[in-house]
Amino acid sequence: MTDTFRAILVSRDDDKKQSVDFVDMREDELMEGDVTVAVEATTVNYKDGLAITGMAPVVRRWPMVPGIDLAGTVVSSDHPDWQNGDRVILNGWGVGETHYGAYAGRARLKGDWLVRLPSSLSARDAMAVGTAGYTAMLCVMALERHGIEPARGPVIVTGAAGGVGSVAISLLSRLGYHVIASTGRTAEADYLRDLGAAEILDRAELSSPAKPIGKERWAGGVDAVGSHTLANVLSMTSYGGAVAACGLAGGMDLPTSVAPFILRGVCLLGIDSVMAPRALREEAWRRLAGELDHDKLATLSTTIGFEDIPAAARDIVEGKIRGRVVVEM
Ligand code: NDP
């Protein structure tokens, strides 16, 4: 008899009505790839929330096993870089969108997509970071490449109590930045200060239409929200500053003007984690392993079971999840 494993399958009927089911799956039902991984931990990102609820067209092949992130152990490999027993991380590459993803006991993947799990991180740690945290690191690296050092002045993090925001605050404060955390959940001020925020800003201050240019308040920032929030962040960025934009939790639009760019030389740094080249991913994970405070990782993450994924998916798109969620298989 062939071994089966549990999986979540999202399907669509002829009327494009979406359903989410727990199913038993066999390895021969997985999609093509040259490495098979036993999934030990996964997570629920904002994008996973969109995929499971169907609120945005994340899934582009039906049916689909969602889940864009996993950590686990290689159980078979035809790829020269990977052997049985290797511990690996997978983030993005269309997994959980067009290729069967992380919400299953096994995943068959392309070896070129995998990053070695740093020895100082457990599978759980890696998923407490997940795509949200790895993207936060990509944002920090982009700000650094642009010369935004702590001495340049404060940096703002929007969507602060979310996944990207929580990890970005932890990383930036550890690196010595004065971090302003913008949140709609001011009741989470203590949590954000524990992570390293020096100041809390009510996100309402950034949610109205932006002036072309505002008072210079920060040297740069990490924006997970988009729309008016990002427009306000740009208009209040000081001369020569830079903002790393990675998210759209507040909207996909960007109602701004060219004023911050042409009058203050502000740069908007676009961050994509999904198709980021392998060398950049390896650098981000090497730095996360070395620089992310383990106590803060514990503070910002909670653990749920596999069967709790659909509920967490609904909660994250409603902005109800604080920090990061780890799913232990
Ligand atoms: P979370 O849901 O964990 O965090 C998003 C946070 O944004 C919320 O916690 C909330 O923060 C804030 N927020 C939510 N809705 C609104 C709103 N309407 N107006 C203003 N603020 C709002 O998601 P993640 O941290 O996982 O992801 C954040 C964003 O980054 C998402 O849009 C996601 O798709 C994107 N992303 C992009 C990646 C890339 O490769 N470019 C990779 C990973 C994520 P608070 O409660 O503190 O106000």
Whether residue 258 sits in one domain with residue 204: yes
Rg (CA), the chain: 20
Distance 224 CA to ligand 1 centre (A): 5
Ligand 1 within 6 A of CB of 55: no
Domain that holds residue 54: 4-117+298-328
In the listed set 220, 254, 270, which residue is the last one of a domain according to the structure? 270
Q: How many folded domains does the chain comprise?
A: 2
Q: Does residue 284 form part of some domain?
A: no
Q: Does residue 16 form part of some domain?
A: yes
Alpha helices in 59-188 (DSSP H): 123-145, 163-174
Distance 325 CA to ligand 1 centre (A): 14
> Tens-digit pLDDT profile for the chain (329 aa)?
468 999 999 999 999 899 999 999 999 999 999 999 999 999 999 999 999 999 999 999 999 999 999 999 999 999 999 999 999 999 999 999 999 999 999 999 999 999 999 999 999 999 999 999 999 999 999 999 999 999 999 999 999 999 999 999 999 999 999 999 999 999 999 999 999 999 999 999 999 999 999 999 999 999 999 999 999 999 999 999 999 999 999 999 999 999 999 999 999 999 999 999 999 999 999 999 999 999 999 999 999 999 999 999 999 999 899 999 999 99
List pLDDT tens digits, range 153-170.
999 999 999 999 999 999
Whether residue 255 sits in one domain with residue 140: yes
Q: Does residue 77 form part of some domain?
A: yes
Which CATH number fits the domain that encloses residue 200?
A: 3.40.50.720
List pLDDT tens digits, range 128-138.
999 999 999 99
Q: Does residue 280 form part of some domain?
A: no
Instruction: Please report the atom of ligand 1 found closest to the CA of residue 229.
Output: 20
41 sits in which H/E element? strand 35-43
Which CATH number fits the domain that encloses residue 49?
A: 3.90.180.10
| Those residues with Cβ within 8 angstroms of residue 1's Cβ, 6 or more apart along the chain or in another chain | none
pTM of the model: 0.96
Q: Does residue 58 form part of some domain?
A: yes
Distance 125 CA to ligand 1 centre (A): 20
Whether residue 142 sits in one domain with residue 248: yes
Question: Among 139, 141, 175, which Cα is nearest to 157's?
Answer: 139
Whether residue 174 sits in one domain with residue 260: yes
Instruction: Please report the atom of ligand 1 found closest to the CA of residue 276.
Output: 40
Whether residue 160 sits in one domain with residue 38: no
Distance 84 CA to ligand 1 centre (A): 36
Whether residue 210 sits in one domain with residue 181: yes
Instruction: Please report the atom of ligand 1 found closest to the CA of residue 206.
Output: 20
Distance 201 CA to ligand 1 centre (A): 16
SS3 content of the chain, % helix, strand, coil (to 5): 35, 30, 35
Whether residue 99 sits in one domain with residue 14: yes
* CA count, 13 A, side-chain hemisphere, 7: 27
Q: Does residue 277 form part of some domain?
A: no
Whether residue 232 sits in one domain with residue 145: yes
Instruction: Please report the atom of ligand 1 found closest to the CA of residue 185.
Output: 46
Q: Does residue 35 form part of some domain?
A: yes
Whether residue 323 sits in one domain with residue 263: no
Whether residue 170 sits in one domain with residue 68: no
Whether residue 138 sits in one domain with residue 256: yes
Ligand 1 within 6 A of CB of 309: no
Q: Does residue 141 form part of some domain?
A: yes
